[in-house]
Structure formats: C-alpha cells, structure tokens
Structure 1
C-alpha cells in the first residue's frame, strides 16, 4: 500500500469567462475521508478529475507526497496511485473477471493468483457468480460494484468516488462500505460525492462544499449535531 498526501495551491478552473472555482489551498492526508458536496454544476466532478490528474487546472499546482515504501507503476483509471471512480465507470469489452483482474497484470505475474484475487474481490461485492459473464449483461449498479472491486484490489493511495452510490440499493452500498473501511484501515484516503447522505458518506469526518466558486471546509462531522461546528475557508 502506497500512502499518499495531496497538497494543492492556487487551484482554479475556468471555462471561457466563467470561473468554476478558485481554491487557494487544499490538503488531503492518508486515511482522510471527505464528503464533497455542492449544487449541480458547481464543479464537484471537475475537482475530482483535477485531483486525479485526468484534467489540467487553469491555474495551480498539485503535489503528491508518497508516505509508504511501495510505489506502484500502474493503476487502472489512476494517476500516481490516485483512482477516480466515475458515476458511469469505464468497462473493458470482456468478462466481468477480465475487468477486475486487468490492473493486476502489472503486480501479479501468476495468472492463477490474479484470478483468485479477482474472484475474491467479486465475492466481496456479491458478483462472483457473474465472473465469466460479459460485462454488457450487468446493470448500472452492478457495474459500480465491479468498479469498486477493481479499485479495492489495487490498494490506491487515494480513491475519488464520484456519485458511486447513485444507482445502488442498500445491500450494494453496505458492501461498498465494507471495502472502503478496509481501504481506510490500510491508509487510503477517500473523497466521496453524493447527492444524498448514506452509509458511505457516514464514513467521512471532513466535508468540502463548493459554493460561490469557493471551497468551504467543515471538519469533525461526527459533532455537527449542535456540539461543534468548525468552518474554515480555503
């Protein structure tokens, strides 16, 4: 497991004359769990793509600090140990098992070991009986579970989950929570967007809200019921 910290400075994204957001400073450390909120169109997905390296910001720098001794050379849909899970995740034209095990080719040379590891991940999300089915037969919610299994076996330093629970039933969300808890225990940090609070967002102890082109941060979410509110503008 590679533990990562993300530090961003003077981060902004502009589309023509419109400033989507400007964030003077942003930090994300190992085992952080952040709930990212905001109205539609304020830039939540854009921010996640910038942090993952999939989108270049208009201004600003993003620095990744490696905390562990192992640095993987490849992560599916990732940039330097950061995995971005889209609301409609990309899937390869192949079996469910192929989609989960693909990224393991760079870390596990033994084919039997790759298969065993991928099957175990599918078992964790309740899809092991569909391992040999073509990915096209899966529903949207099942594809999200495949994406979660794929991310889990890659042990990312940072996992960015963009509305990953939107099409999931409660059982599926509970399975994803178990995998997220396991990743957190091993040093992964999470950023989760969701229009509704659920068991996944309940894992978070920090909250980022994008409003008026700014990032507002609230920490210690477990104390928000009148005990303590701590707001800081970044």
Structure 2
C-alpha cells in the first residue's frame, strides 16, 4: 500500500458570486481519521470531490506526497491511491462479485487471486452468500456495504467516505468499522462525513467543520470536552 499525505493551499470553490468555502491550508497525513461536519449545503461533498480530483477548485493547489498510478472507477477517481465513496454509490450491471472485482482488474494478480480477495471482502460485510446474485437484488444499505468492500480491496492511501453510513443499521456500520480499522492499520487515511455520530465517526481523532465558508479544525477529537469551545482555524 502507498501511504499518502494531502496538502492543500489557498483552496476555494465559488458558484457564480457565491463563495462556498475558502481554506488557507489543509493537511491530511497518513493514518489520519477526520470527521467532516457542517450544515447541509456548506460544501462537504464538494470538498471531498476536490480532494479526490473529481472536481477542480476555483483557486488553490492540492499536493500528494507520493504518486503511483492513475485509474478511474465507479464514477470516482482513484488518483495516486485516493478513493471517493459516493453517498449513492454507482453499481455496474452485473453480479455483486463483479462489482467488487472491477477495481482489481487494474491491480497485480491473477483472476483467482482477485476473486479470493473480493469474496473475502464480501464476507467481511456479510454479503458473501449473495456474491453471484445480480446487483439489482440489493437494498440501498447493502449497496453501501458493497461499495465499502470494493474500496477495501483496493487498499487506498486515502479513503473519502461521503455519508457512507446514512442508510445503514448499527450492525452494518460495525462491519464498515472493521474494514476501516484494518485500512488505518495498513496506513490509509480517512475523511468521513456523517450527519450524526456513530461507531464509524468514533474512529476519528480530528474534526473539520465547514462554517461561514471557513474550515474549522479540532484535533484530539475524543479527548476534548464537548462543552468547551476549543476550535482553531485550519
């Protein structure tokens, strides 16, 4: 796995005359886990898309500490090991297994090895018995679990999760937690958006909040008294 860090400078996005956000500096290091919060419409999804390379910022630069491969898959971009998980993940017309295996077509290994990796990932999200079923049989929450399995097999340097737990029950969220913990141990850094705290956001030690077009950062998330104002501008 390639360990990555992301640094952004003077990052802003505008829609016509409206400034969505401006971030003077942003740093995401290896094995970071960041909880990204903010009201609806403040630009959380846009920020994730900019960091993934799916959307160009109005101003600013984004630098990755290491560069490896470039590939595109499932309506997201894996650019030097950066994977973006959409809130409503795109699925290909095929089996559940095919959807997990798709990204592995670009990696080293024979077909049997890729199938073994994909089955193992589906087992970890509780869907291995449905591996050969058509993707259309799955619910929205099950599709998110497939998307997580698909991301996990790629072992990305950075995983950006956009409301990935929104349609999941607590048991399903715990399955995602297991995969995320494994990725963090391997060196992956995470940015997670969620409208409410849960077992997935509990993995995070840092918090970014977009408010009044600014990014506010709080470090040591689990060690700070929730009742105290300990915010600092990033």
Bigger CA drift: 56-65 or 98-107? 98-107
Name stretches of at least 5 consecutive residues in structure 1 with no aligned partner. none
CA distance in 2, matches of 1:108, 1:75: 16
How far is the alpha carbon of 1:228 from its aligned partner? 7.7
Structure 2 SS opposite 1:180: helix
Distance 2:226 2:14 in 1: 37
Q: String of CA shifts for 1:175-216, please: whole Å, max 9, x gaps.
A: 000000000001100000000100000000000000000000
Change (3 A) 1:75 1:118: farther
Q: Please name the residue that 2:52 is paired with.
A: 52
Question: Counterparts in 2 of 1:192-211, with a 5 A limit?
Answer: 192-211=192-211
Which of 53, 62, 68 is residue 71 of structure 1 equivalent to? Answer: 68
Aligned in 2, Cα 1:94/1:123: closer, same or farther, shift over 3 Å?
same
5 Å-filtered alignment, 1:112-127, equals 112-127=112-127
Q: Do residues 151 (structure 1) and 148 (structure 2) align?
A: no
C-alpha separation in 1, matches of 2:15 and 2:228 = 37
1:31-180 equivalences in 2 (<5 Å): 31-66=31-66, 71-74=68-71, 76=73, 77=76, 78-180=78-180
Q: Which runs of 5+ in 2 are unaligned?
A: none
Retained in 1: the 8 A contact 2:69–2:79?
no
3-state SS of 2:92 partner: coil
Moved more, 139-148 or 100-109: 100-109
- What value does the CA root-mean-square deviation take over the aligned residues? 1.5
Contact 2:70–2:79 (CA<8 Å) still a contact in 1? no
Is the alpha carbon distance of 1:118 and 1:7 closer, same or farther for their aligned partners in structure 2, counting shifts above 3 Å? same
SS of equivalent to 1:74: strand
Secondary structure of the 2:71 match is coil
Cα separation, 2, equivalents of 1:20 and 1:220: 27
* CA positional deviation for 1:230: 4.0
SS class of match (1:191): strand
**In the aligned structure 2, how far is the partner of 1:97 from the partner of 1:205?**
33
Say if 2:181 is the partner of 1:184: no
In the TM superposition, residue 121 of structure 1 has moved relative to its aligned partner by 0.5
Deviations 1:14-66 (A, max 9, x none): 00010000000000000000000000000000000000000000000000002
| Deviation (angstroms), 1:71 | 2.9
Secondary structure of the equivalent of 1:148? helix
Equivalent-residue separation in structure 1 for 2:80 and 2:8 (angstroms): 15
The count of residues paired between Structure 1 and Structure 2 equals 231
Please give the per-residue CA displacement for 1:56-93, whole angstroms capped at 9, x wherever unaligned: 00000000002xxx934436332221000011001111
Contact 1:219 1:229 in 2 (8 A): no
Q: TM-score, normalised by structure 1?
A: 0.95
